[in-house]
Amino acid sequence: MPRLFLIFALLFTTSAMAAAIPATKVAKVNDRIYALLGPMELPNKKNQGYMVNSTLIIGETSAILIDTGFTDEIGAHLAKEVAKLTKKPVKVIINTHHHGDHSFGNAAFPDAKVISSEMCRKLLIAGEGEWLGIIQGALGRKLPNTRAVPATEVYASKTKTDVTLDGVKLTFWVPEAAHTAGDMMIWLPDDKVLVGGDITVNEITPNFRDANVKLWIETLAEVKAMPAKTIIPGHGPLMTTKSVAKLHQRMAKLYAGVEAGYKSGLTDGEIRKKLDLAEWKPLHHFDEQMGGNINKAYLEIEAAAF
C-alpha cells in the first residue's frame, strides 16, 4: 500500500508540474490581431518551457496562430487562450523559424495546416532531437507527446509572397538569413503589423547561436524603414520601428566593434574586455548570451576574411 501511494503521489506531482504553465499576457493590437506574450525567462521548471510570444489572427471563419511554444502542453495552453478570444477554430499554424520554443507546440494542433519557410522545415526536421533534448533537460522530465511537426506549405529563401488566408492579407517575407537560416516574418499590410519572430526581440539579448549576424543587421535595417504601427517580437514587449532602430543600432555597433578587434589581431576574449557593453547589460539574458554572441560574430568575421 505505501508503494502504491508513492506511485500515485509521483504521478500527481508530475501532472501538477506539467499544468503549472504561467499565464499569458494578452495584448490586443486591433479587433482581429492579438499578441500572446509569454514569459521572458529561459526555459526552466518554473515556467515549464513557456518563453515565447505568439500571435493570433482572426479570419472570417477560422483563426491563424503564429508560433506555438516549446511543448505540446504549451501549445494546448495557447489553444485555451485562443478559445477565450474567439470561437473560430485554429486552421493555420505559421512558424517564424525552427527553434523548438517557437515550433514544438505545433503538435497540439493536429487539424491545422502548418506554414513556414522551406529552410525552417528542413532545420526543424534535422534538429528535432537536439531541441527535444534541450527542453527535456530544462524540465527534468520526458515529453512523450512533444515532437517536430514540420510545415506542409513552405516558402523559399529571399522571397516576399503575398497571400490571402481566410480573408486576411499577409506577406510572407523570407530573408536570406538572420536569426537563423530559415526565418520568416509575416507582414499584414492592411493592419500595418509585422510579426517578426526572433529577428525582432525586445528588452532581451538576442541569441546569435544559429545566426548570420551581418545579414540579420541588414534585415533589421529594412524592418526599421517599414510603415509598421506595431511589431510583435519573438520575445519581449510589443515594439515599434523606433525600438527596432535601437536594436539595429546596438547590433551594428557590437558587430563593428568585434570586427575592429579582429582586424587588430585580438582574440574574442580580448575584444569582449574592450567593448562598451553598457547598453546591453540591462537586457535579459546578458550574462548567459553575450559571451557566445561575441564569439559567434568573431567566427563569422574570421570566416569572411578567408
pLDDT tens for 51-95 read 999 999 999 999 999 999 999 999 999 999 999 999 999 999 999
Grid cell locating 27: 495584448
pLDDT tens for 278-291 read 999 999 999 999 99
Give the sheet arrangement for strand 90-94, strand by strand.
25-30, 33-37, 54-58, 63-66, 90-94, 113-117, 153-155
pLDDT tens for 210-231 read 999 999 999 999 999 999 999 9
pLDDT at 292 over 80: yes
Grid cell locating 239: 515594439
pLDDT tens for 181-202 read 999 999 999 999 999 999 999 9
Quick one: what percent of the chain has pLDDT higher than 70? 94
pLDDT tens for 106-133 read 999 999 999 999 999 999 999 999 999 9
Question: Which pLDDT value is given to residue 20?
Answer: 86
pLDDT tens for 242-276 read 999 999 999 999 999 999 999 999 999 999 999 99
Considering only CA atoms, which of 145, 146, 151 is closest in space to residue 96? Answer: 151
CB atoms within 10 A of CB 65: 27
Ordered by where they begin, the domains of the chain are 16-305 (3.60.15.10)
